[in-house]
Amino acid sequence: MTLITLKIELPPQDINDILCTAIEGGINYWCDQYEVLNDDNQKVDYAWEVIGFSDKAQLVFFENESDADTAPTMTRISFLIGLQKWLDSKEWIWPFSIDTGDIDAGDADCIVQYALFGELKYC
């Protein structure tokens, strides 16, 4: 089998759309809250939109019923790695773009899990 790599442009708003879908409906069965840390590692009150536009901002996810000492953290880079893992797991050919309207809550949940854990932990 021959493997090729395609470059797909992903605007910051697409990252935000996928995170919105995950936070508002995809991950709430395993994550009961999250925090946003800005570029200076300070907690901020605004939502996840900062991730699409910053390489330093972070989203910290708090898992339901977790005994872990630290909460998993996502950056824009880890989000992109998670998105790539999710794309690699699919068995169809994308039309050389990502339409965030086609990514439902379950898909967004998988992308976030790949970004945080490198695998699907809650499936």
Distances (CA, A) of 25 to 1, 11, 28, 42, 57: 37, 22, 6, 26, 22
pLDDT digits (tens, 9 = 90+) for 15-64: 888 998 998 889 999 998 888 887 777 777 766 666 677 778 888 899 88
For the chain, the domain total comes to 1
Would you say residue 111 lies in a domain?
A: yes
SS (H, E, C) the chain: CCCCCCCCCCCHHHHHHHHHHHHHHHCCCCEEEEEEECCCCCEECCCHHHHHHCCCCEEEEEECCCCCCCCCEECHHHHHHHHHHHHHHCCCCCCCCCCHHHCCHHHHHHHHHHHHHCCCCCC
Q: What is the pTM of this model?
A: 0.84
Q: Residue 68 belongs to what domain range?
A: 12-117
Single-letter amino acid code for the residue at 24: E
pLDDT digits (tens, 9 = 90+) for 12-29: 888 888 998 998 889 999
Would you say residue 43 lies in a domain?
A: yes
1 vs 95: which has the higher pLDDT = 1
Would you say residue 3 lies in a domain?
A: no
Residues 36 and 46: their CA atoms lie apart, in Å, by 7
pLDDT score recorded for residue 29: 94
pLDDT score recorded for residue 30: 95
pLDDT score recorded for residue 107: 92
pLDDT digits (tens, 9 = 90+) for 65-116: 877 788 899 999 999 999 999 988 876 655 666 777 778 899 999 999 999 9
